[in-house]
Amino acid sequence: MELNGSQILMECLLEQGVDTVFGYPGGSVLNIYDELYKYREKIHHILTAHEQGAAHAADGYARATGKVGVCLATSGPGATNLVTGIATAYMDSVPMVAITGNVGRPLLGKDSFQEVDITGVTMPITKHNYIVKDICKLADTIREAFYIAQSGRPGPVLIDIPKDITAITCEYMPSMPKKVFRQVCSIRQKDLDEAVKLIRDSSKPMIYCGGGIIRSSAHKELLEFAERIQAPVATSLMGIGGFPETHRLSTGLIGMHGSKASNMATTECDVLIAVGARFSDRVTSSVNTFASNAKIIHIDVDPAEISKNVKCYTSIIGDAKEILTNLNEMIVQQDHTEWLENVRGWKEEFRFDYQRDDKLRPEFVIEDIYEQTNGEAIITTEVGQHQMWAAQFYKYTMPRTYISSGGLGTMGYGTGASIGAQMGMPTKQVVHIAGDGSFRMNCNELATISYYNIPVIIVVLNNSVLGMVRQWQTMFYEGRYSETTLDRGPDFVKLAEAYYMKGYDVFTQEEFQQAFKEALESKKPVVINCHVGEDEKVLPMVAPGAPINDLILE
């Protein structure tokens, strides 16, 4: 059948199972938005307040559901406003397709109004990108983009479509989506055998779980693997939820703000099995001392990650779920009672804790959210101290329940991500934990949350400072608080009310408990502004460049 480019785009989105698109219209995508109007019963479009919010919403949707997130923007500034969101998804391996309009083909390269070379701009932060200059190639390009976004190590793909391509016609043939198979051809038996031998000969094995566990849906296989080899399990920020934190083998977060048990066990282990992790500097700190007593087995889908940051002893390339399935079949039950007793001692010696008194402290807020949601909420965060407290004090037992910008560390990420997560998982309660600095960067998305009545509960840990930067200034810059005091508006409760939302100002533990209880019961969007101390610290902490077993505890 003969269809124009905009119709082809709609049909291809439906082919790929897309039900939600986050975006913002403009001149170069008018034809696409005209077609979206006609397809509104099949594809739900969420109009965000800003294109960056659309990108973050698509990212949050993808992380919460495991499906491909889709965002749409016009040319020029519309396209460049997606860049931070695309980079965020790229750093954290999130499957996303960003669709941008561009000026018509005759105007390309002439500095035309609202023209930008968005494929050139995004080349370093996408798995692949396209500019479609032939209408006959549009459908196959869209299909290929979705396949690339999901296959291997997931990531964002951008499709740039000139405006005239969205209007002209060609023959369209429907097609079923190409099945995405797990990457298994690179899994070599000799690599599996070598890993099994190292694990069998180990007396102090340790597992380091990264975001690849969640991307490959390998959490059940990891649990079986850990129990089979009787090894403690530490998680990176991106790996949170990949292993249940209530399990006796869990040691929690690893790295700069990790637990003493995770950091000590990694330092003392004789074999470290890293699964779907990239050895970020926030995990390793001093590369020369990281796991220096261990032979490192690195399991990853991306061969480029092997020995990139930390040199490994051996590696297995391929899908984590398939690799762990193979290892579980090959390994007999291990017993490391003495080693686990040592680790348990570290867990008892220092737990994530805080001064328990009558003050409203950030850690109390996170713990109470955990209690009132029975540990079943999806938590989204911004970036900063609140992000770390949310990682430390909420006990995650399932994947895709902690959604945060890890690699890029994007302040302004979380409110958009909470929109996407809630739209993708409407039966779950999404709680967005923000700092006042980050929330100022994206509070315009309250317009989106309010208009669509998205029942996100936004909890702002408001300390009137840029908390994490201030913490560094206190500890490493002799208290020179250069431009980190946020002694200015807005009044977040009045701001919520301006968007027709309920807002709470809370100063005490009792006030927070009551406000959060009412928010849960209301099933409506709510902002809770928690007034906490400006000098609260995220502890433990490893100083930059120090060994991870050298923890600052107070």
Q: Which of 206, 468, 501, 541 is catalytic?
A: 468
C-beta separation of 532 from 250 below 8 A:
no
Looking at residue 115, what is its pLDDT? Answer: 96
CA nearest to 467, candidates 393, 396, 390: 390
Tokens 């934190």 belong to residue: 245
- Torsion angle of alpha carbons 416, 370, 226, 326, nearest 10°? -40
C-beta separation of 295 from 269 below 8 A:
no
Question: Is residue 490 reached through a cis peptide bond, with omega within 30 degrees of 0 on the bond before it?
Answer: yes
CA nearest to 161, candidates 125, 114, 119, 124: 119
pLDDT per residue, tens digit, the chain (554 aa), is: 999 999 999 999 999 999 999 999 999 999 999 999 999 999 999 999 999 999 999 999 999 999 999 999 999 999 999 999 999 999 999 999 999 999 999 999 999 999 999 999 999 999 999 999 999 999 999 999 999 999 999 999 999 999 999 999 999 999 999 999 999 999 999 999 999 999 999 999 999 999 999 999 999 999 999 999 999 999 999 999 999 999 999 999 999 999 999 999 999 999 999 999 999 999 999 999 999 999 999 999 999 999 999 999 999 999 999 999 999 999 999 999 999 999 999 999 888 888 889 999 999 999 999 999 999 999 999 999 999 999 999 999 999 999 999 999 999 999 999 999 999 999 999 999 999 999 999 999 999 999 999 999 999 999 999 999 999 999 999 999 999 999 998 999 999 999 999 999 999 999 999 999 999 999 999 999 999 999 999 999 999 999 999 999 88
Looking at residue 105, what is its pLDDT? Answer: 96
The neighbouring-strand residues paired with 102 are: 162
User: How many angstroms separate the CA atoms of 200 and 194, rounded?
Assistant: 10
Is residue 51 annotated as part of the catalytic site, yes or no? yes
The residues near 375 (Cβ < 8 Å, ≥ 6 apart) are 394, 395, 396, 397
Tokens of 54: 């659309």
**What structural domains does the chain harbor?**
2-171 (3.40.50.970), 189-349 (3.40.50.1220), 362-542 (3.40.50.970)
Looking at residue 452, what is its pLDDT? Answer: 98
Q: Which of 10, 11, 22, 51 is catalytic?
A: 51
Q: Which of 42, 113, 171, 494 is catalytic?
A: 113
Looking at residue 353, what is its pLDDT? Answer: 87
User: Whole-structure pTM over 0.85, yes or no?
Assistant: yes
Q: Which of 67, 114, 137, 144 is catalytic?
A: 114
CA nearest to 244, candidates 401, 404, 417, 383: 401
Is residue 468 annotated as part of the catalytic site, yes or no? yes
The neighbouring-strand residues paired with 315 are: 298
Looking at residue 355, what is its pLDDT? Answer: 86
C-beta separation of 389 from 363 below 8 A:
yes
Q: Which of 96, 127, 146, 163 is catalytic?
A: 163
